[in-house]
Amino acid sequence: MERINKFGLIFLFMTVAGAAATAIADEFSQQDLTRWESEYLSVVKQGRQAFTDPELGSNGVTCAQCHPNAANTHPETYPKFQKQLGRVVPIWEMINWCIRNPLEGKSLEASDPRLVALQAYIYYERRGVKLDPGKH
Ligand code: HEC
């Protein structure tokens, strides 16, 4: 009986602590929201530029030639198994696959601002599409 009470207390403590943490995390102003959105959209814009940049790879080919307006990029299906790579991958690994193959360029580091921007752009073009990870 005493054990149950102890667990009950711990549970209650965690619930209260969790609620407090959420309340703190939720504090932001309209000004913050406006700034965050404009930061995001500026990265989307950089992504659109990279997507149409003949200098991204080595042979002058651009992403947009095969994926106009990010067509057939299916970001909502990631992570998923990709046969080209033989395992379950996040979308940026597939972007690197296209950089290495059709664009004959070099893979970008995961944290490379161009790779982040390409993802921001691709996801922006597909906003509102229902998540469907693993789908083919
Ligand atoms: C010459 C045409 C071509 C170019 C240029 C190209 N791709 Fe692709 N892309 C493909 C093909 C082919 C696939 C493989 C489709 C598959 O098997 O899922 C693919 C797959 C993808 C996928 C995964 C799609 C899915 O359904 O899972 C993404 C994301 C992607 N490309 C992004 C890019 C980006 C970003 C660039 C520019 C760096 C680029 N591609 C350039 C032809 C191209």
Q: How much is the average pLDDT of 113-131?
A: 98
Q: Which pLDDT band holds residue 26 (cuts at 50, 70, 90)?
A: confident
A 10 A CB-CB count for 15 gives: 10
| Centre of ligand 1 from the C-alpha of residue 40, in Å | 23
Q: Which residue is closest in CA terms to ligand 1's atom 42?
A: 66
pLDDT digits (tens, 9 = 90+) for 29-86: 999 999 999 999 999 999 999 999 999 999 999 999 999 999 999 999 999 999 999 9
Amino acid at 2: E
Distance CA(61)–CA(51), nearest Å, equals 10
pLDDT in the model for residue 25: 73
> Which atom of ligand 1 is nearest the CA belonging to 136?
26
Nearest partner of 105 among 115, 120, 119, judged by Cα: 115
Pocket probe for ligand 1: among 73, 97, 118, 123, the residue whose CB has the most ligand atoms within 8 Å is 73
